[in-house]
Amino acid sequence: MEATLFALVTDEATLFAFGMRITEGDETDVVVYRRDPETRKTMFGVHDSVERAVRHYSRMVPVDVLWAPDDWENEVV
Protein backbone atom coordinates (compact mmCIF):
# COMPACT_ATOMS: atom_id res chain seq x y z
CA MET A 1 0.00 0.00 0.00
CA GLU A 2 1.27 3.46 -0.89
CA ALA A 3 -0.08 6.93 -0.02
CA THR A 4 0.59 10.28 -1.67
CA LEU A 5 -0.46 13.58 -0.10
CA PHE A 6 -1.83 16.55 -2.02
CA ALA A 7 -3.71 19.78 -1.51
CA LEU A 8 -6.60 21.19 -3.48
CA VAL A 9 -5.99 24.90 -3.90
CA THR A 10 -8.02 27.72 -5.39
CA ASP A 11 -4.82 29.57 -6.24
CA GLU A 12 -1.20 29.11 -5.21
CA ALA A 13 -1.80 30.55 -1.74
CA THR A 14 -5.34 29.47 -0.80
CA LEU A 15 -5.94 25.99 0.57
CA PHE A 16 -9.33 24.42 -0.17
CA ALA A 17 -8.74 20.87 1.12
CA PHE A 18 -6.11 18.26 1.92
CA GLY A 19 -6.13 14.87 0.28
CA MET A 20 -4.44 11.51 0.21
CA ARG A 21 -4.28 9.14 -2.76
CA ILE A 22 -4.00 5.53 -1.59
CA THR A 23 -2.95 2.84 -4.03
CA GLU A 24 -2.70 -0.89 -3.53
CA GLY A 25 -1.94 -2.92 -6.59
CA ASP A 26 -4.19 -1.61 -9.36
CA GLU A 27 -6.79 -0.14 -6.96
CA THR A 28 -6.88 3.54 -5.99
CA ASP A 29 -8.91 5.45 -3.41
CA VAL A 30 -8.73 9.17 -2.75
CA VAL A 31 -9.73 10.69 0.59
CA VAL A 32 -10.31 14.46 0.81
CA TYR A 33 -10.61 16.42 4.08
CA ARG A 34 -12.01 19.93 4.26
CA ARG A 35 -13.25 22.23 7.01
CA ASP A 36 -15.72 24.82 5.77
CA PRO A 37 -14.37 28.25 6.77
CA GLU A 38 -17.84 29.69 7.38
CA THR A 39 -19.70 26.86 9.13
CA ARG A 40 -16.57 25.18 10.58
CA LYS A 41 -18.12 21.82 9.60
CA THR A 42 -15.67 19.05 8.78
CA MET A 43 -16.26 17.23 5.50
CA PHE A 44 -14.71 14.05 4.13
CA GLY A 45 -15.01 12.76 0.60
CA VAL A 46 -13.95 9.47 -0.94
CA HIS A 47 -13.33 9.35 -4.69
CA ASP A 48 -12.03 6.89 -7.29
CA SER A 49 -9.28 9.24 -8.47
CA VAL A 50 -7.75 12.65 -7.86
CA GLU A 51 -9.22 13.80 -11.17
CA ARG A 52 -12.75 12.91 -10.01
CA ALA A 53 -12.17 14.72 -6.73
CA VAL A 54 -11.06 17.82 -8.64
CA ARG A 55 -14.17 17.66 -10.84
CA HIS A 56 -16.40 17.23 -7.79
CA TYR A 57 -14.99 20.14 -5.77
CA SER A 58 -14.62 22.36 -8.84
CA ARG A 59 -18.41 22.52 -8.93
CA MET A 60 -18.13 24.77 -5.84
CA VAL A 61 -14.99 26.68 -6.79
CA PRO A 62 -12.27 25.96 -9.37
CA VAL A 63 -9.48 23.96 -7.71
CA ASP A 64 -6.10 22.66 -8.80
CA VAL A 65 -3.92 19.89 -7.36
CA LEU A 66 -0.73 20.75 -5.54
CA TRP A 67 1.21 17.51 -5.04
CA ALA A 68 3.20 17.24 -1.85
CA PRO A 69 6.96 17.00 -2.18
CA ASP A 70 8.60 14.24 -0.14
CA ASP A 71 9.55 16.70 2.63
CA TRP A 72 6.20 18.56 2.74
CA GLU A 73 5.04 19.44 6.25
CA ASN A 74 2.21 21.95 6.62
CA GLU A 75 3.65 24.40 4.09
CA VAL A 76 0.22 25.30 2.65
CA VAL A 77 -1.95 27.25 5.07
Q: Give the model's confidence band at 8: pLDDT under 50 very low, under 70 low, under 90 confident, else very high.
A: very high
pLDDT tens digits for 14-42? 999 999 999 999 999 999 999 988 999 99
**Residue 76 has what pLDDT?**
47
Q: Give the model's confidence band at 11: pLDDT under 50 very low, under 70 low, under 90 confident, else very high.
A: confident
Domain boundaries, the chain: 2-67
Which residues, at least 6 apart from 54, have a Cβ–Cβ distance to it below 8 Å?
8, 63, 64, 65
Q: How far is the C-alpha of 50 from the C-alpha of 5, rounded, in Å? A: 11
Mean pLDDT calculated for residue range 45-60: 96
74, burial (CB in 10 Å: exposed 0-12, middle 13-18, buried 19+): exposed
